[in-house]
Amino acid sequence: MKKKIAIFILLLGALMQINAQEKKTVRIPLIGDKAPSFTGQSTLGEINFPGDYGKSWKILFSHPKDFTPVCSSELLELAYQQEEYEKLGVKIVVLSTDVLNMHTSWVKALEDIKYKDREPVKIKFPLVADDNLMISNKYGMIHPSVSIAENIRGVFIIDPQNNIRSINFYPMQVGRNMDEIKRTVIALQTIDANENLLAPANWNPGDKLMIPALSKSESENAGKPGSNIEQVSWFMNFTEK
C-alpha cells in the first residue's frame, strides 16, 4: 500500500511539473531591453550574438523551418538587399529551428534560383541553427499552446548599444515586407541623428520629420519667411532635416 501511495505521489508531482511548464509565460524582450545574447553554430561558423557585431546595427530574422515557401521568398529578397543593409551599417543574422546541415542545403538551393527575373544571388549573412529552440525561447518566440515552432517568425532590430528598438511578428502565411524593415532601420537611424525629431506615418528618407513640441518663438515664427517649420496644427509640426 505504501508503495502504491509513493508511486501516486511521484506521478502527481510529475503531472504538476508538466502542467507548470505548459503554463509558464514566455516573455518577449521588449523595446528598450538589451538583446538577449547567444552563441550558435551557423552557415558561416560559430557566432556570438550580438557581441560579434560590435557597434553595428543588427537585425535578427527568425524562421520556423527551412525550405518553406514563404520563408524562402523572404531570404531571397533579403539577399538582394544585403548590399544596401551593408551601406547602412546593418548586420543581418537569420535564425531557423532546423539543423545546420539543413541550413547549408537550403542556402545552396536558394543561391541557384533566378527569382523574379533576377540573377541568382549569393547569401552572405549567416543562418543560425536553433534546433534545440534555446535562442527562440530567449527571444520569447515559443507559443506551445498553439505550435512549438510555427510562430517563430519575429524580426528584432537592434541598435549599436544592443538595445532592441523594433519588434515585429508575422504569420506563416504572409511574407515580410523587406522594404518596410529597411525603412524602419533608416527611420531609427535618422531620428537618432536628429535629437527631438520624430518620423511620421509613411515616412520615407527625404521626407519631413515631426517636432514633438515648439518653443514660443518657434510657434510664433512657424510658416514665416526664414522658418523651416511647417505647422499644420498646434500639435503637429514638421521640419526638413
pLDDT at 223: 74
Whole-Å CA distances, 143 to 76, 118, 169: 27, 37, 12
Spatial separation of the C-alpha atoms in residues 126 and 42, rounded to whole Å: 6
Q: Which one of 71, 110, 157, 158 is the catalytic residue?
A: 71
Q: Is 71 a catalytic residue?
A: yes
pLDDT in tens, 155-189: 999 999 999 999 999 888 899 999 999 999 999 99
Q: Where are the domains of the chain?
A: 24-176, 194-241
Buried b (16+ CB within 10 A) or exposed e, 42-52: bbeeebebbee
> Which pTM value belongs to this model?
0.85
Spatial separation of the C-alpha atoms in residues 52 and 230, rounded to whole Å: 43
- Arithmetic mean of pLDDT, 122-136: 96
The domain made up of 24-176 has a fold known as: Glutaredoxin (3.40.30)
pLDDT at 40: 97
